[in-house]
Amino acid sequence: MEIKCNDKELFVFKKIAHAAAELGVPAYVIGGFVRDKLLGRATKDADIVCVGDGIQLAHKVAERFQPKPSVSFFKNFGTAQIKLKHFYEANFGEVHLIAENNGQEAVENLAEPAAEENGDVPHEKSALEIEFVGARKESYRYHSRNPEVLPGTLKDDQDRRDFTINAMAISLNEADYGTLIDPFNGLQDLERKIIQTPLDPDTTFSDDPLRMMRAVRFAAQLNFTIAPATFQSIKDHAERIRIISQERITEELNKILLSAKPSVGFDLLYQSGLLHIIFPQLVDLVGAEYIDGLGHKDNFYHTLQVVDNISRNTSDLWLRWAALLHDIGKPPTKKFEKGHGWTFHGHEVVGGRMVPRLFAKLKLPQNEKLRFVKKLVELHLRPISLTKENITDSAIRRLLFDAGDDIDSLMLLCEADITSKNKQKVIRFLENFELVRHRLREVEEKDRIRNWQPPITGEIIMDIFGLSPCKIVGDLKSSIREAILDGEIDNTYDAAYDFMMKKAAELGLNVVNKNATGN
């Protein structure tokens, strides 16, 4: 393996090296940047450790750019960060070099401005974020993951790293510039695709239990194997995860879900015992029960396959969450019916009700992301049911109305839900789904029902009949909507008005403003 940095990265590291030399502090690139460069993976952040004051080094480096980037620093932790904007989106030839008064070169228009008028610095997807910290050694109290931090050597800093593949460093010092410093054979573990701790795993995981989640996440992201002794230690210390904040745990869950094959991570979470603590509702899906020779599939591993299926077609985190939770309502609805077998009637409704509680517990967003996942869980059986009957325009209209702009995401989820090992069965299901897609396009082009609202609003109804908000208004509006969705009347104002007047007469309502239009 060799480290392949582009010209811009090398240019920036030279500037860091010069700044460190000026301060007289040894400096090194360490951790994830080194690992990912050796693996040929894209990276947009770099950690710099120096044997000295990391915040002072960050300020010294910032001075070598024009315009000077802001330095975000946390004095209590001894860390600092600068961000170089538009770093990866332009060719190096487009970067202009100018001379500063001290004769050093700087990268023009590559540094992040100090702040915008609103006080926020915009996030740049193509930015390079550089974090600086002084080398340190740490000691932990048993009931806290907040360490007591003391200044240390490079060796001390590498000793405290989570895994051997993250403990490698590259020197930025004149005497051995570019040398790989690898005291725990991390390079060998990269080649063997092994994740293990530099020191005793019991100490590593007891000190900082979040590292157990990180081990699983790296295994999922890199398609690596966790070393047996390291994995046994995770199993032994799984209960320690309880001292970690929910936000940190959920951050790791999201990263596992965004990996190329999330099932790797979730299976490891289950096998290690971590999932039983952080997400017991998923564990409830595990296993297949048999009565009178009749069983059901293991809904946990079915779910993992659905997540993998959908991950091949989308990088959308929330669609992946919908896949993970689509059958979450099966355990509480599971019943055995004599002579028929196992049923999960209404599991999509129950699952939809569980989503807000799970999102709240996991500290996931309480906004449109939650509503999106809840909707897909509730609707995930609807397209499947349309493959088992003659597809009427009414059924298609209702699906378009209920799914709205999320219909394409819903169809992706339903196709991912096909996990049969019978290839002919899979082909048949996919052909049926293609028929549903064709009918969806056909009805949408004709009726424009997606995100549609009935032409008669509640305001119009109240105005015409002199009503205040009440159940009758809602009932009339629902009757109009259902009549249009069922194809009983046309999707026009006149047709809806005539239908409303007929229903109003049945209810004994009198018109008080026949000219009302709701405008």
CATH number at residue 117: 3.30.460.10
Tokens (6 digits) for 14: 């030279």
93 exposure class (CB count in 10 Å sphere: 0-12, 13-18, 19+): exposed
pLDDT of residue 295: 62
User: Rounded to whole angstroms, how far apart are CA atoms 444 and 440?
Assistant: 6
Q: Determine contact, residues 19/61, Cβ cutoff 8 Å.
A: yes
- What is the b/e burial string over 103-134, where b = at least 16 CB atoms within 10 angstroms of the residue's CB? eeebbeebbbeeeeeeeebeebeebbbbbbbb
Report d(CA 205, CA 236) in Å as an integer.
10
Single residue among 164, 192, 220 that ends a domain in this structure: 192
Tokens of 37: 């460069």
**Which pLDDT score, from 0 to 100, does residue 90 have?**
47
Region of 508 on the Ramachandran plot (φ > 0 left; ψ -120 to 50 alpha; else beta): left
Choosing from 192, 208, 241, the residue where a domain stops is 192
Please give the angle made by the CA atoms of 315, 320 and 325, to the nearest 5 degrees: 180
pLDDT at 417: 92
Domain assignment present for residue 441? The answer is no
More confident residue, 330 or 450: 330
| Residue 254 located in a structural domain | no
DSSP conformation class of 514: T
Residue 27 lies in a domain: yes
How many other CB atoms sit within 10 Å of the CB of residue 194? Answer: 20
Task: Answer whether residue 115 shows pLDDT above 60.
Answer: no
Q: How many separate domains does the chain show?
A: 2
The confidence score (pLDDT) of residue 396 equals: 84
Strand order through the sheet with 72-74: 72-74, 79-84, 128-134, 45-50, 27-30, 169-171, 180-181
pLDDT digits (tens, 9 = 90+) for 132-163: 999 987 655 555 556 566 778 999 999 989 99
Residue 185 falls inside a structural domain? yes
87 Cα distance to chain centroid: 24
SS (H, E, C) 372-420: HHHHHHHHCCHHHHHCCCCCCHHHHHHHHHHHHHHHHHHHHHHHHCCCC
3-state secondary structure 108-177: ECCECCCCCCCCCCCCCCCCEEEEEEECEEEECCCCCCCCEEEECCHHHHHHCCCCHHHCCEEECCHHHC
> Across 17-31, 79-93, 100-114, which has the greatest mean pLDDT?
17-31
Angle at 219 between CA 216 and CA 223, to 5 degrees: 155
Which comes out higher in pLDDT, residue 481 or 105? Answer: 481
Task: Tell me the mean pLDDT in the region 471-487.
Answer: 87
**Angle, CA of 181, 183 and 185, to the nearest 5°:** 100
Single residue among 160, 177, 192 that ends a domain in this structure: 192
Sequence-distant (6+) residues with CB within 8 A of 300 are 270, 282, 283, 285, 286, 287
What residues have CB less than 8 Å from 92, skipping those under 6 apart?
Answer: 6, 7, 8, 11
Alpha carbon separation from 510 to 19, 48, 215, 461, 469 (Å, rounded): 84, 78, 70, 11, 16
Indicate whether 124 belongs to any domain: yes
pLDDT in the model for residue 293: 61
Interatomic CA distance for residues 11 and 39, integer angstroms: 21
What is the residue whose two structure tokens read 């001379």? 99
- Supply 208's token pair: 């900082």
For residue 90, what are the domain limits? 7-192
> What's the pLDDT tens digit per position in 331-356?
999 888 777 777 788 899 999 999 99
Cα–Cα distance for residue pair 390/379, rounded to 1 Å: 19
Q: When comparing pLDDT for 257 and 150, which is higher?
A: 257
For the chain, the distance separating the N- and C-terminal CA atoms, rounded to the nearest angstrom, is 70
* CB contact at 8 A, 358 and 378: no
371 within domain boundaries: no
Residue type, 98: I
Q: What is the pLDDT of residues 420-460, one digit of tens each?
A: 777 777 788 788 888 888 888 877 777 666 666 778 888 89
Cβ(181)–Cβ(171) below 8 Å: yes
223 and 260 Cβ atoms separated by less than 8 Å: yes
Token digits for 299?
A: 């809904």
What value, to the nearest 5°, has the Cα angle with vertex 21 and ends 20 and 24? 90
Residue 118 has pLDDT above 80, yes or no: no
Mean pLDDT of 479-489: 85
Residue 330 lies in a domain: no
15 domain residue, yes or no: yes
Instruction: Tell which phi-psi region holds residue 144, choosing left (phi > 0), alpha (psi between -120 and 50) or beta.
Output: beta
**What is the pTM (predicted TM-score) of this model?**
0.80
Give pLDDT, residue 450: 66
